[in-house]
Structures are given as C-alpha cells and as structure tokens.
Structure 1
Amino acid sequence: MTDPLERALAELSRTEGGPDTLALLVRDQDTRRMLLLRAVLDAAEAADPADCPPAAKRRLREDWALLVAADRTAEGPSPARARLTHPLTGPWARRCLTALTARDHTRTAELQPDLAYFSAVAVAAAARAGLPFTTEVTARDGVLCLPSLGALRTARAGGAEIGIRHKNGRLTLRQRGACDVHVRLEQGIGAWSGAPAWTPAHALPGLLPGAAPVPLDDLDPYRTPPRNSGRLAFSGPTGPDHAERKRWLQAWTGTAQALRTGGEQRLAETVTLLRCLVPLAPPPGSDGRGSSSGTRREAFGALLSTTPATATAFAATLVHEMQHTKLAALSELVELHRAGPEARYFAPWRPDPRPYDGLLHGTYAHLALAGHFQRTALAEPARREAAWAEHARYHAQVAAALPALVASPDLTPVGRGFVDGMAAAHERLSARPAPRGHTARAQAYVKAVRTLWAQRQPPTPPIPNR
C-alpha cells in the first residue's frame, strides 16, 4: 500500500490533491495551530511578571477554561476548536508568542491588548456553543471584536471594559456611560442588533449546497499584516459597504461554476481549504480599479483579496492562491529544498529577482493556472480564445522557470521528486497546445520580459587578477 504522504506528494506535484491528501494538509495545520496556542499559554505562564502580570496569566487560564467548557458542551462540531483553528487566530497567536519570547522586550507594551483578545475568542466560542456565562472583556482602540459575531464601537476610546452576559442565544453588552446593547446570535456567521454601535459579521454562502458559509471578515484586528512589517505588499484592509458586499456576492455566485469548468479538482480544493475571505482595498494609485490578492503562511485557509470583478476572474484568483496554500502547508510537512533567501532567480511574472522558494511557489501556482485555462478553453466555446491566450502565457512562463528549479543543487530527494512531478505535469499539458498564434505571442512575451529583466540586473563584478 502506498504511504499516505508519498501519495500526497505525487498528487500535489501535479497541482492536484484528492480528499485524503487535502485532509492530511488540514489535519496537520490544525494540529500545528493547537501546538502554537499551547506554546503561547506556556510562554505566558513562564513570562516575567513585568511582561505578563499575574492578572493577565490568570485571565488566560480562565479563557482557556471557558473554551474547554464550550468544547465539552457543544453538540456536533466544536465552535471552540473552530475558533482556535480559524485562519485569523494564527497571526494573533504568532504575534503573542513573538512578543512573549522576545529577549529585547521591544513589544511588551503591545502584549497586554494582544493577550486580552483571547477573551473575545473564548466569548465567541462559548456563545456559539450555547454556554450561559457572565464575564468582562477589554476593547481595543475603541472597538470590541467578537470573532464570527461582530464588533461593538465603545462609548469611550481606548481599552474600555465591557461586561458580557450570554443566555439562550442572546448577548448583553454593558459598558459605563452607554445603554446596554442586546445582540441575538444568527445561525452560522453573524449576530443581529438594532444598536447603531454594533456591526455584524458577514459571510458568503457555501460554494456548494450544504457547504459551510465562508466568512467575509472585515472586522478582525489581525486580518492583515502590519503596514510597516516589510512583508507582503497587501494594499490594506477595507470595510466594504452594502454595495461592495453585493459585488462580492455577485462574483461569488458564479465562482463555483467557473472553477468547475477549469476542473472539478479546483472546486473541491477550494471548498476544502478556503475558510475565510478578507476584503482588501484597491492598490494605491490604481484609481480604485486595481486588484491584488494573497495568502499568509500563519493564516492557513485565509484569502486576502480586493473585490472580484467577475466570477471568472475570481476563480482564477482562487486557483492561484489555493496552490500557495497547499504548497505552504506541504512545506511544513516535508523539506523540499535547502536554498537560502537570496533573490537571484528570473521569474517571468515578476520584474524583480526571486529567491528559490518564491520561484517555486510562483511556478507551482502558474502551472495550476495553465491547466485551469486549458480545460476552460476545451470546455467553453464562448471563452475559448481568451482562455487559450491565458493558457499559452502561463504555460510559457512555467517553461521559462522550470529549468532553474530542476537544476538546483539545493533540492532534497523529496523536493527533487516533487519538482520532477511538476515538470511532468507541464509536459502533459503540451499534448493539447494552444493554437499556434497564441503560443507564438506567449513565447515572444516571455522572451521580451527576460531581456528586460537581464538589462535591469546589476553588472557582475569582474574577477580580479591573481
């Protein structure tokens, strides 16, 4: 019998992944999340009282006890586990652990409000489990976010204390200097209140009948990386209004069919892996018409994206980003390469040199897109020419990037098999090529991009005479 991991590697190298393979990735990521949370709690217990006061440690223990009670009380799937493995809990946990273990203590000032957010996670899970409770939580910057429920704008700025009581699906939020806010939980995602200070959480319907709704999260304080982090160049979070949410829903409604046209695999992996959508603002300088998207390693299952223009465009975005999700999860299971972070590789889709891992990720995503548009061209006469043009471009780009991947001496034995599987998948796509005109234009485009890239690179310093 084939080892499950060997089978997963073979399937994933083709940019595929059956139910067992996808379940393996999800299981491993959920386990890692729980271990990360345990590490946060242990680090808090061991922290110096100056960094994590006794009151904060005690509150963390109380929050964990509430989560355990919610886990034991719930009938069916545990809302406590769902909240702890939710994508956006990952960035919060990573941020807390970094601050708790930092030797220079540069982030301890931010640690207390970060740790206090765990109370909101526990409250949301306990309420979803139907557990009656009374507690008090601390808002942050004038807002109390209760994940999957909504957010309350507090009467006072800063870290206001909010009393919370839950019974029979109703929350009562009490704060000094303001009227009580009564909130009724809705099934799935969101909670309703007539109070102007309350903003409910929103979700899009499941991609397939019976599938879970997908949160459209514009409230979570950890939904995007800090703007000064020097990491991914996301365009920044946004809070969509009613018209914008309608645009999301219109594009989303046709996304399942657009994914299915490009292969049942693409729809299946999206339903399995996508847990959360985070709306992004248009990129700066785009006059509101630009688009961007991305994923975060520490937020498995989250997709950050500007408002989709069409279902077809969003399907391509999902195909692209789900490959990053799969490859990032696989890279935590096995070591594919030992290449360093030096940015020196040509990638036909980027103007700047890429590190080996970045080239691997980009090539993997573009290989999946080449297959997606090839199947679309063969199945959809109305979109055939546009789909062939997209296929030809992605196929030519992958052809230009594969030699550097395959030739790397930094590949592990597992990684070499994986990259060879990618090359074989690319070769199989060549059996049904795009019409000659599309292929010629795509190859000319890649050649021009390579020439321009080479001209931009700094000259190689001469070798000194010895």
Structure 2
Amino acid sequence: MTAPPAHALDELSHTGGGPDTLALLVRDQDTRRMLLLRAVLDAAEGADPADCPPAAKRRLREDWALLAEADRAADGPRSPARTRLTYPFTGPWARRCLTALTTPDGTGELPLELAYFSALAAAAAARAGLPFATELTARDGLLCLPSLGVLRTGRSGSAAIEVRHKNGRLTLRRRGASDVHVRLEQGVGAWSGAPAWTPAHALPGLLPGAAPVPLDDLDPYRTPPRDPGRFAFSGPSGPDHAERKRWLQAWSGTAQALRTGGEQRLTETLALLRCLVPLAPPPGSDGRGSSSGTRREAFGALLSTTPATPTALAATLVHEMQHTKLAALGELVELHRAGPEARYFAPWRPDPRPYDGLLHGTYAHLALAGHFQRTALAEPARREAAWAEHARYHAQVAAALPALVASPDLTPAGRRFVDGMAAAHERLSARPAPRGHTARAQAYVKAVRTLWAQRQPPTPPIPNG
C-alpha cells in the first residue's frame, strides 16, 4: 500500500478519477480488507481459550480452508470467495469480531459473530460449485447465507441447521421441520418454493454486460447499530414487491441520468458501487423523507431510502460516491491533522462540523455542482431546475472553501488536494447559472449562515493573567 501518485491526487481533487486511479482505490481497500481478516484469524488463534474456545478456533480454520478451496475452484479473475470476503459487510463483521477478541469481557457474542463467517464460507463454496456438508447456526431465528438468501426458522434464539450442497442445490435441514431445498441462481439469489426461504435480490447491471447490483435487505451487518443522533441513519427497510419495483423503476433510468451529468459519474459508480441497502424513511417524516449515506468500514455500500426518480437516485450516487472516494483516499494518504472538534460552518447542516466532516461535505457538494451544471447545459427540459440546484451547491461550496483552504492542519498532500478543489470550483464559475438563480442561492447561504451564528453558544472571554 503506497501513497497515490500526484496525477491521481489531482484527478481526485477535481472530484474525478480515471480508471487507473479508481482501480488503485479499489485494490487498496481490498488489500486492507484481507489484512483485517488476517488480523481476526490471528487474534482468534492467540485468544485465551476462555474467550475463544478450541472448537471455535478449529471451526474458523475449517471455514478459511473452505474459502481457500472455493477460491482455487473458481474460474475467472474474481472468485466467489474473494467476492464474499471483499463484500462491504464483511468489513463491519470483521471489526466487530476484532473488537470482541481484543477487548476485555468483549467476547460474549463472539460465537454468534463467528457463525456468520461459517455461513459466508458455505455460500462462497456453493457459488464455486463445491459439494460439501456442514452445520451452520441460525441467529435470532434467521440463517443468512450471503448472496443467496435467508432461512427463517420460526423460532427465537439460535438453532443448528444442517446444510448440504451438490450440483447447485442446497438442502437445509432443521430439527422438527421439513427440509428446505434451494436452487442457486446466477449472480445473486437462490430460489425455493418453501415459505421459510427468502431469496437475496439484485438490480440488473447499470449498463448491459455489467454485473448485477445487490439490493441487500438481508445481511445482518448491513446497517450500523442504531444511533439516536439527529443525523444518524434511519433503520433498515424490508421492502416488499411494490417497493422493489420502485427501486427498479428508478434504477432503470439512472445510467442515463448519471451520463447526462458527466461520463465520470457513470464510470466511478460502475467501479465503486458494490451494493445498495434500502433504508426506512427517517423518523417523523410521515414516510416521505429521504436519507442516504456510506460507511467507511463497508467500502462499496450505499444505504438509501427508496429513490423517487432516476434523477434523484443519480444525484444520491454522485454525492455518496464522493464520500467513498475520499474515505478510501484518506486511508492511502494523510490529508490533514485536524482534530475532531465540531466548530466549522457548513451551509448544508445546522450543526457545527469537524474539519474532516466539512472536507467530506464540501467535496460531495462540489461534485453535485458540476453534475447539475452539465445537466443544465445538456437537458433543455430540466434546465431551470438543474441551474437552481447547481447555483445552490456552487454557493454552498464557495462558503465552505475558505475554512478548508486556510487550515494550518493540512499536510502537503492535503494542501494540494484542497487547492485542486478550489480550482475545480473556480472552473465551474466560468459557466455560471442565470443571474436570478445565483442571487437566490447566495441569499439562501447568507441567511443560513446568519441563523447558524445565532444558534452558536457565545465564545467565553479569555481570562486575564
């Protein structure tokens, strides 16, 4: 893992990133994931038997061996085993296990956490076409087989499930219930006529020939633990058939909406997006609110409420893929040494932001300003609405950039990056929105700044002496 070359840093600072630069980010994140998994295995091997019993260690080694066999058996450059290990939610799982193994008294849930890895290995082996027989553990009445689906046991608590695979057919056997037979489908999902089985779902590739994109409403690690904060993620959603249809309708027009805002946006979405996670509407929104986000520990996942239109989904992708790029870049090279103190004005939030939060938000809004400027220039039917969006995002970035540029906490790489952002913002100014849109956007930002300042507690006086 090495620092990115100067040209890659420059590309990213302009909210871009060519194929080689995006591939660099992906390779680095995949490498970090494999190192994290190695750390989990090493921590388990070195753990006290009271925390990680010999049987658990032995099962972990067996699961890893099954994954290695699945990797060897697969055709093509990307095996089902590697796909599962670098899937976004293997990251949160691994971090949770590592925390449990390295924190005093943190291993209470460890057996159930490790059971997820056993199911992951079994799913990868089935995808690779390996025959096997194993025993898995359902947790809270659910056995999740990543990329395949979920078996619902109908009982609370944990339960042992015997799983056999041969020739693309899984047999799931549990005590006191009929066997469930499941047929694997190509890519994502597995079909069964049993009511106890819920298949995994996916949206078609963004372009013809592109891989399907999982619409993951099943993985137990798909959303972070609930945070009562105002800007935390809303809870996970379990979409019904009608809701999935709305996702598909929005998704079907998203490639064109992305391309209208610049070919770069389509390129980076194809390179970085690994799954979509449906979210419930935010609390108190009467079902009409929207929210979206990414998670640093789950590279490639985008969490979102159901998008209303392809245009809305495209804007969400533009926004969130910038967070994905910047988070990955921040692990390759240190951009700043600012602390976590929340003290900066961000025109898109009512609360003060830490420097890193301001950097992320400004970067995402800069990309949106460019996206809507190109849309306004290319789509006569949407011109006025797109100019209004562009003017607002452009004015917001203009208000945030001075604090970023002036920071003494920037590293040399960070200075180059922020200066590149400022230059990209200046280039957008060469094709301004019509005067009325610009004036309204600037007045809006000014009003927001005034309200923000009024809400901040007074600065305490500096004591004498």
Instruction: Name the TM-score, length of structure 2 as normaliser.
Output: 0.98
Deviation for aligned residue 1:157: 2.3
Deviation for aligned residue 1:406: 0.2
Secondary structure of the corresponding residue to residue 401 of structure 1: helix
- The residue that corresponds to 2:160 in the other structure is 161
Deviation for aligned residue 1:463: 2.1
The 3 A distance-change label for structure 1 pair 94 and 366 is same
- The residue that corresponds to 1:11 in the other structure is 11
Residue ranges of structure 1 left out of the alignment (5+ in a row): none
Q: Distance in 2 between matches of 1:157 and 1:72?
A: 37
> Is the CA contact (8 Å cut-off) linking 2:71 and 2:128 kept in structure 1?
yes
Q: Distance in 1 between matches of 2:82 and 2:463?
A: 61
Q: Distance in 2 between matches of 1:10 and 1:229?
A: 38
> Is the CA contact (8 Å cut-off) linking 1:155 and 1:178 kept in structure 2?
no
* 2:424 aligned partner, one-letter code: A
Q: Does 1:247 find its partner at 2:268?
A: no
Per-residue CA deviation, residues 250-299 of structure 1 (Å, 9 max, x unaligned), is 00000000000000000010011000000000000111000000000000
- The residue that corresponds to 2:69 in the other structure is 69
* 2:39 aligned partner, one-letter code: A
Q: Distance in 2 between matches of 1:164 and 1:279?
A: 29
Q: Distance in 1 between matches of 2:406 and 2:37?
A: 39
* 2:96 aligned partner, one-letter code: R
Q: Distance in 1 between matches of 2:437 and 2:237?
A: 38
Deviation for aligned residue 1:230: 6.4
Q: Distance in 1 between matches of 2:317 and 2:367?
A: 11
* 1:56 aligned partner, one-letter code: A
Secondary structure of the corresponding residue to residue 202 of structure 2: strand
Q: Distance in 2 between matches of 1:229 and 1:290?
A: 17
> Is the CA contact (8 Å cut-off) linking 2:227 and 2:233 kept in structure 1?
no
Per-residue CA deviation, residues 93-141 of structure 1 (Å, 9 max, x unaligned), is 1111111111x32x31111100111000000000000000000011100
For 1:193-212, what aligned pairs fall within 5 Å after superposition? 193-212=192-211
For 1:160-199, what aligned pairs fall within 5 Å after superposition? 160-199=159-198
- The residue that corresponds to 2:427 in the other structure is 428
Q: Distance in 1 between matches of 2:410 and 2:42?
A: 36
* 1:293 aligned partner, one-letter code: S
* 2:93 aligned partner, one-letter code: W
The 3 A distance-change label for structure 1 pair 70 and 231 is farther
Per-residue CA deviation, residues 338-364 of structure 1 (Å, 9 max, x unaligned), is 000000000000000000000000000
* 2:324 aligned partner, one-letter code: T
Q: Distance in 1 between matches of 2:180 and 2:407?
A: 60
Secondary structure of the corresponding residue to residue 148 of structure 1: coil
Per-residue CA deviation, residues 220-262 of structure 1 (Å, 9 max, x unaligned), is 0000001158696000101100000000000000000000000
> Is the CA contact (8 Å cut-off) linking 2:135 and 2:160 kept in structure 1?
yes
> Is the CA contact (8 Å cut-off) linking 1:145 and 1:152 kept in structure 2?
yes
- The residue that corresponds to 2:120 in the other structure is 121
For 1:15-26, what aligned pairs fall within 5 Å after superposition? 15-26=15-26
* 1:298 aligned partner, one-letter code: E
For 1:393-408, what aligned pairs fall within 5 Å after superposition? 393-408=392-407
Secondary structure of the corresponding residue to residue 438 of structure 1: helix
Per-residue CA deviation, residues 158-215 of structure 1 (Å, 9 max, x unaligned), is 1100000000000000010000000000001000000000000000001011000000
Q: Distance in 2 between matches of 1:464 and 1:232?
A: 35
> Is the CA contact (8 Å cut-off) linking 1:155 and 1:177 kept in structure 2?
no
For 1:228-243, what aligned pairs fall within 5 Å after superposition? 228=227, 233-243=232-242
Deviation for aligned residue 1:5: 1.9
The 3 A distance-change label for structure 1 pair 432 and 259 is same
> Is the CA contact (8 Å cut-off) linking 1:253 and 1:311 kept in structure 2?
yes
Determine what percentage of the aligned residue pairs are the same residue: 89
Q: Distance in 1 between matches of 2:357 and 2:23?
A: 25
- The residue that corresponds to 1:379 in the other structure is 378
Give the aligned CA root-mean-square deviation in angstroms: 1.1
For 1:344-359, what aligned pairs fall within 5 Å after superposition? 344-359=343-358
Per-residue CA deviation, residues 297-340 of structure 1 (Å, 9 max, x unaligned), is 00000000000000001100000000000000000000000000
Deviation for aligned residue 1:465: 3.0
Deviation for aligned residue 1:90: 0.6
* 2:66 aligned partner, one-letter code: L
The 3 A distance-change label for structure 1 pair 195 and 27 is same
Instruction: Name the TM-score, length of structure 1 as normaliser.
Output: 0.98
> Is the CA contact (8 Å cut-off) linking 1:345 and 1:353 kept in structure 2?
yes
For 1:57-136, what aligned pairs fall within 5 Å after superposition? 57-76=57-76, 77-102=78-103, 104-105=104-105, 107-136=106-135
> Is the CA contact (8 Å cut-off) linking 2:4 and 2:333 kept in structure 1?
no
* 2:459 aligned partner, one-letter code: T
- The residue that corresponds to 2:137 in the other structure is 138
Secondary structure of the corresponding residue to residue 403 of structure 1: helix
The 3 A distance-change label for structure 1 pair 155 and 442 is closer
Residue ranges of structure 2 left out of the alignment (5+ in a row): none
- The residue that corresponds to 2:146 in the other structure is 147
> Is the CA contact (8 Å cut-off) linking 1:79 and 1:128 kept in structure 2?
yes
Q: Distance in 2 between matches of 1:228 and 1:388?
A: 36
Q: Distance in 1 between matches of 2:50 and 2:445?
A: 57
The number of residue pairs the alignment matches comes to 462
For 1:313-352, what aligned pairs fall within 5 Å after superposition? 313-352=312-351
Secondary structure of the corresponding residue to residue 189 of structure 1: coil
Q: Distance in 2 between matches of 1:34 and 1:108?
A: 22
* 1:95 aligned partner, one-letter code: R
* 1:65 aligned partner, one-letter code: A
The 3 A distance-change label for structure 1 pair 275 and 40 is same
The 3 A distance-change label for structure 1 pair 231 and 219 is farther
Deviation for aligned residue 1:156: 3.3
Secondary structure of the corresponding residue to residue 459 of structure 1: coil
Q: Distance in 2 between matches of 1:327 and 1:60?
A: 34
Q: Distance in 2 between matches of 1:65 and 1:218?
A: 28
- The residue that corresponds to 2:263 in the other structure is 264
* 1:436 aligned partner, one-letter code: R
Q: Distance in 2 between matches of 1:165 and 1:445?
A: 61
